[in-house]
Amino acid sequence: MKKIKVLPYILGAITALLFSGFCLYVFCPAINVHNVGLWVIIDIAILLFVVVVRLTKGFKDFGWITVKKRTGSKGRTKKFAKFNFNIKYYILPIILTLLIIVIGITGSTVFNATSYSEILKVKDSDFSVDLSESVGTDSIALMDTASARMLGDREIGALSDVVSQFNVSYDYTQIDYNGNPIKVSALEYAGFFKWMNNNVNGIKGYVTVDPVSMSASFEKSEGMKYVPSAFFSEDAYRYLWTEYPTLMLENLHFEINENGKPYYVASVIEKTIGLFGGKTVSGCVVLDPVSGETQKYNVSDIPKWIDVVFYGDLICEQYNWHGMFQNGYLNSMFAKKGCKQVTTYYTSDDEVDETPISDYGYVAKDGDIWIYTGVTSVNGDSSNIGFLLANERTGESRYYSIAGADEKSAMAAAEGEVQEKGYQASFPSLINIDGHPTYIMVLKDSGGLVKLYAAVNVEQYNIVTTATTQAECIKKYRMALGIENDEKKEDIKEKTITVASIKYIDIDGNTFIYLIDNESNIFKAKASANENMLLLNVGDKVKITYSGKTITSCEKVG
C-alpha cells in the first residue's frame, strides 16, 4: 500500500484557512450564496490549498523547466525547455471559476432585460400636484456637499479641543429633521493613534449644516464607540457583520432621529435575478453607535425618521435598467427605441480621462427626502424629456413628462447671467412656480461662499433671474414670467366677465393673452399655461379666478 504524506495536506489546509480568515476579518463579506465576493474567496482558498500541497510534495507545477539530454557518440548534450503543469490537480478551482463566470453571465441584463426593467416600479405622475407651491424653497436643499464640508470644517476648526483629535467625516447625509432639510456628518478619528487615545470615551458629537440658512453647528452627544473610523471590533461595518453575518449590507451612513440622537444606518441588499444579478433593497439595519444595540427593519416597517435606505446612486442605476431595457436587450444595443436614462455627466479623474456619473438634487416632502434627477434620451443631447422623483426611504418613484433643458445647461445659463463675476452654480433642485417647473440653485465664488441665488425656467432656460436672497430671486422670476408685478400679490378672487377685447402680446419669446372686459378692466395670462383661452371670442362670458391682474383659471360660461 502506498503511504500518503499527511504534512502537505495539513500545510495546504492551514494556508487556505489563514487566507479565508484574513479575508473574512478584513473585508467582512456577507456569508450569503448571493454574494459573489464570498465565492471568489472560496475559489482562491481552494487554489491555494492545491498549490501548497503540490509545492510541499516537491512538484513544480508552474514555470519552465530546463531539461538536459545526452545525445551522440561524442557525449554532447542538448538543452530544451518543458512547461510542467498537471491540470488534473487544479480541476476543482477551474470548475468553480467557470461556474462563477457562467452564473454571472446568465444573471446579467443580456438574458434578463425584462426582469431588470421591472425592478424599479415607476409611476407616471402630475408635476403640479406632487410638487405643489407649498413645497417651496424652504424645503429645498440648495447647498451642495462641497459647501457643507467647508462650513462643517470651519465650525470644527473653531473648537480647539475637538479639532486636535477628530475630523469631520467627508460623507454628509441629506435628511429631513423635524420638517426641515439638513445635512449631517459625524466626527471621525484622525488616525489610529487618535483612536487609541479616545476610544474609551468615543466620539462625542456631530455636525449639522442648514442648507437654507447656510450655517453649521456642532452638536454634542454621548460617546459614539462603534463608528466607521474606529478599528478592530469597534469598526461599525465589522461590528454589524458580526451581528448579521449573512446580510449583504451597503450604504452605511450617519443619521439622527427627531430628538437629535445619532445612529448609523445600512441598507440590506437582495439579489433578485439568478444568484448575483439584480439589486434591490429589502430593508435596513440601524446601529446605535453609543450602546452597540442594533435593529433590523423590513421596508414596510422602517421608522419615519430614517431618511436614506434606497440611496440615490442605486435608484439611478435601477431607473437606467428600467429606461434602457423595457423593450429588450437587443433594442437597447441597436434600435434604442424608447430608451432613456437619468442625466449623466462626465468628470475627469486620475485613472480614467472621462468617468460617467449621475447627479441628483434633494427635496424635503411629506417628512421624507426625495431625490430628483432629469431623464434624457440615450442620444446624449443637452435636453431632458422628463424628471424622476424618488423617495429614499420607501423607494417610491414617480416620473414627470416635462421637456426642457438638462441640469448642466441650466447651471451654465445661471453662470452666464453673472459671467463677469466668475461664480459657479451648484447642482440645482426642482420647484413649482405657478405651474412652471423651475430650477433653483446657488452661485458660489472661488472660495465656496454662496453669493447669489438663481432661478432658471426648465422649458425655456433663457428665462433666468438672480438675487442675493431666495425670496427676491423668486419674486424677480415671477415678474419675468409675467405672473407678478412690483406690487404685493393680492388674494385670489373670482369673477364673471364679458370679453370686450382680446390682445396677444409677445414678451421675451412668451405669448401672453390680455382680456379686456366691458368695464374696461384688464386681465392677463400666459398662453402656454391657459391654452383654453385661445378659443375665446369677443362677447364670450367667462368665469375667471385671478390675483391682481393675473388670471389663474378661466372657464367659458354658457
DSSP string, 263-280: EEEEEEEEEEETTTEEEE
Ramachandran angles phi, psi of 194, nearest 5°: -70, -35
Helix (H) or strand (E) holding 329: helix 329-333
**Per the CATH hierarchy, to which homologous superfamily does domain 493-556 belong?**
Nucleic acid-binding proteins (2.40.50.140)
How much is the pLDDT for 553? Answer: 79
How much is the pLDDT for 96? Answer: 97
The partner residues of 556 in beta bridges, in order of sequence, read: 542
How much is the pLDDT for 528? Answer: 61
Domain ranges in the chain are 7-106, 122-127+316-402, 407-481, 493-556
CA distances 179 to 210, 259, 307, 365, 416, Å, are 12, 12, 12, 8, 34
How much is the pLDDT for 521? Answer: 86
How much is the pLDDT for 381? Answer: 64
Smallest CA-to-CA distance from 294 within 229, 230, 249 is with: 249
How much is the pLDDT for 351? Answer: 45
* Residue bearing cell 453673472: 418
How much is the pLDDT for 461? Answer: 82
CA distances 334 to 81, 117, 330, Å, are 50, 17, 6
DSSP code for 342: E
Cα–Cα distance between 208 and 148 in angstroms, integer?
Answer: 9
Cα–Cα distance between 141 and 208 in angstroms, integer?
Answer: 13
* Residue bearing cell 414670467: 481
How much is the pLDDT for 446? Answer: 83
How much is the pLDDT for 139? Answer: 59
CA distances 152 to 63, 146, 198, 255, 425, Å, are 56, 10, 21, 16, 20
With beta carbons less than 8 A apart as the criterion, state whether 84 and 253 touch. no
Q: Which residues contact 18 (CB under 8 A, 6 or more apart)?
A: none
Q: Which residues contact 250 (CB under 8 A, 6 or more apart)?
A: 266, 267, 269, 311, 314
Pairing label, strands 215-224, 203-210: antiparallel
User: Average pLDDT per run of 10 along the chain, which is 558 residues long?
Assistant: 75 96 97 97 96 84 66 61 76 96 95 96 88 61 79 83 85 91 93 93 93 86 96 97 98 96 98 95 98 97 96 95 94 91 65 55 87 85 86 95 88 90 88 87 85 90 88 87 57 84 72 84 76 84 82 81
How much is the pLDDT for 64? Answer: 66
Cα–Cα distance between 526 and 479 in angstroms, integer?
Answer: 12
Give the amino acid at 378: V
How much is the pLDDT for 209? Answer: 92
How much is the pLDDT for 3? Answer: 58
Q: Which residues contact 11 (CB under 8 A, 6 or more apart)?
A: 52, 53, 56
Cα–Cα distance between 200 and 182 in angstroms, integer?
Answer: 30
How much is the pLDDT for 284? Answer: 98
Task: List the grid coordinates of 520.
Answer: 374696461
How much is the pLDDT for 431? Answer: 87
With beta carbons less than 8 A apart as the criterion, state whether 69 and 80 touch. yes
Cα–Cα distance between 351 and 412 in angstroms, integer?
Answer: 27
Cα–Cα distance between 175 and 188 in angstroms, integer?
Answer: 19
Cα–Cα distance between 294 and 285 in angstroms, integer?
Answer: 7
With beta carbons less than 8 A apart as the criterion, state whether 175 and 208 touch. no
